[in-house]
Amino acid sequence: MVCVQIDELALLKYEVMLYGIPSSKKLGSEVTVNFYNPSIKNKGVFYTDSNGLEMQKRTLNFRPTWNLTTSANTVAPANYYPVQTAIAIVDTETDLQMLVMNTRSQGGSALQEGRIELMQNRRLYFDDGRGMGEPLNETDSSGNGISVFATYFVQIFKKPTRSSL
């Protein structure tokens, strides 16, 4: 982790290397990177960028044009969104915001209060029925799961007094 100080605003840089997910041949595996700040009460609301342009408001288990119903197995997939460059949570009472900027496109969510999670890698040995039509089992030239490197920049600040870098 590297911390860059700009005035009173800190920018934390995390470099994450995930080596190949071991093969289990029975169950798939998903690995997320999580950022947590217990001071932020985002009440199920978070923001993701839309193709790197503007932030879109997301609400857990809600769709504006239809009634979304989820089961215990579908809560996470129903609340994951594409994150090209940034994901954020805001506490509307304290105006405290946590913003995570990523260097590669990923899926992300805020499934728990004060926590942002981004999918670092996943490995499936069967089609999960969610659109790919094939297993998600990427391997290197030796047949091992692929290694994934990502860099994250994290800012925590008071929204009305500061803006993101």
Angle at 100 between CA 96 and CA 101, to 5 degrees: 135
Share the mean pLDDT of the chain.
85
Amino acid (one-letter) located at 120? Q
3-state DSSP assignment of residue 160: coil
Domains of the chain (ranges; CATH) run 2-158 (2.70.98.30)
What is the tens place of the pLDDT at every residue in 95-141?
999 999 999 999 999 999 999 999 998 888 777 776 767 777 888 88
**CA dist list (Å): 161 to 9, 41, 73, 110:** 11, 19, 40, 24
pLDDT at 55 over 70: yes
Total residues belonging to the chain: 165
Report the pLDDT value the prediction gives residue 17, as an integer from 0 to 100.
93
Please name which of 98, 100, 58 lies closest in space to residue 79, comparing C-alpha atoms: 58
